[in-house]
Amino acid sequence: MESVSVIKKNQIFSRNDIDKMEKGFKVNFINSLSGFKSANLIGTQSEEGINNLCIVSSVFHLGSSPPLFGMIIRPHTVTRDTIENIQATGQYTINHVNTHIITAAHQTSARYDKHVNEFDETNLSETFTQNCKAPYVEEANIKMGLQLCEIKHLDINTTELVIGEVIEVVTDQDLNLEDGYLDIEKAETACVSGLDSYHQTQRIDRFSYAKPGKDIKSIW
Amino acid sequence: MESVSVIKKNQIFSRNDIDKMEKGFKVNFINSLSGFKSANLIGTQSEEGINNLCIVSSVFHLGSSPPLFGMIIRPHTVTRDTIENIQATGQYTINHVNTHIITAAHQTSARYDKHVNEFDETNLSETFTQNCKAPYVEEANIKMGLQLCEIKHLDINTTELVIGEVIEVVTDQDLNLEDGYLDIEKAETACVSGLDSYHQTQRIDRFSYAKPGKDIKSIW
């Protein structure tokens, strides 16, 4: 399958085609299929006080009351330190990657030794608040502190679903907040496709609440 | 909290501030915090043969070998029919929302009666393959058929994590596929922020695999 360079219209990849793909090729392919992904830096601190920073593209909204977010961690990869620190301290931060820090953010995906502080290696700046033991990324325009709620082991592929509750939200830019919607595009939040492609966004529209038989209106 | 219109630099929202927000305001706020989200239409069919279509912004990559995707479903909302159909038939489709179909895609979030086919209501077109019982969205340039693996009930907020395995991938546009990375920006895949804001993307760069002490290179 390595030689495929253009997919033709109406082409079907069967599961058998996918299973036969070379490993790296398959990882790129499957990672592209869910659509655009959030780009967040996870800040943690070890019991020994060493700060850790790691980019994660799997943070997702789980609920608003209480405010909960989930993320998928692969314990045998570069995110191992992250999950160990979360288990040890119970806290972590989620920091939006913005378009100005994508290179530094991507660099945090390198397999640094457990005793290396990725903030030092990437020139991103640590900052703290009174309420959270984990470090924030100063350059991130939107950041939040979380308290670990639970870690669910997913037997199906030995990944961990980390669920945390928001303890505070910190913004580092003047941002509109009209009906609660926070303009993350104005905050220059980036998104990711596949494993390594970074994108900025351009709003097409915001839409009214949809109802059967009623036309949708622009609310932007 | 309803009156906040501009967040100032270095403003902190405590958990107490968040808990005091009006319900709709809070839902918009919390939904904005995880960053950009994928925009996918989930196609299902009921046991009675009625097709269903529903937009979901919670699809995420869970693993590549085997190819697994997760999504969060709230069983007491508009996605109730979706999860009932998945439980009944064991299959569903994930279809990328592209920038040309965002209005129709958003309309599928209306609370239609169980016996209404959202394809008819939105003028999106049903299409089928031999391998999947669930309907695809013809207008979607990237789509995949999934077999249900498991539904994990998340006690923490009574949501359901639906995990499925890819059975096939269908593309409806000529797309580059060099190292496995599928150019979803060329496919005009949209992304979502908050509950109702739709965005197109512009690639900034693709980066090489990160290694400690090694500079990241552009690979685009």
Could you read off the pLDDT of A12-22 as tens digits, one per residue?
999 999 999 99
CB contact under 8 A, B26 and A65: yes
Got the DSSP string for A191-215? Answer: EEETTTEEEEEEEEEEBPPP-TT--
pTM, two decimals, is 0.96
Both tokens of B96, joined, read 């990328």
Report the residue from B38, B180, B211 with minimal CB separation from A34: B38
Got the DSSP string for A57-104? Answer: S--EEEEETTEEEEEEE-TTSTTHHHHHHHHHHSEEEEEE-BTTSHHH
Report the residue from B35, B106, B111 with minimal CB separation from A184: B35
Span A63-78, pLDDT tens digits: 999 999 999 999 877 7
Both tokens of B39, joined, read 């925009």
Report the residue from A4, A116, A212 with minimal CB separation from B177: A4
In the prediction, which pLDDT does A170 show? 95
- ipTM for the predicted complex: 0.95
CB contact under 8 A, A24 and B179: yes
Cβ–Cβ under 8 Å, residues A207 and B106 = yes
Place of tokens 């990237």: B142
CB contact under 8 A, B7 and A175: yes
CB contact under 8 A, A201 and B189: no
Distance from CA of B90 to the nearest CA of A (A): 16
In the prediction, which pLDDT does B3 show? 47
In the prediction, which pLDDT does B9 show? 74
CB contact under 8 A, A154 and B62: yes
B48 strand-pairing partners = none
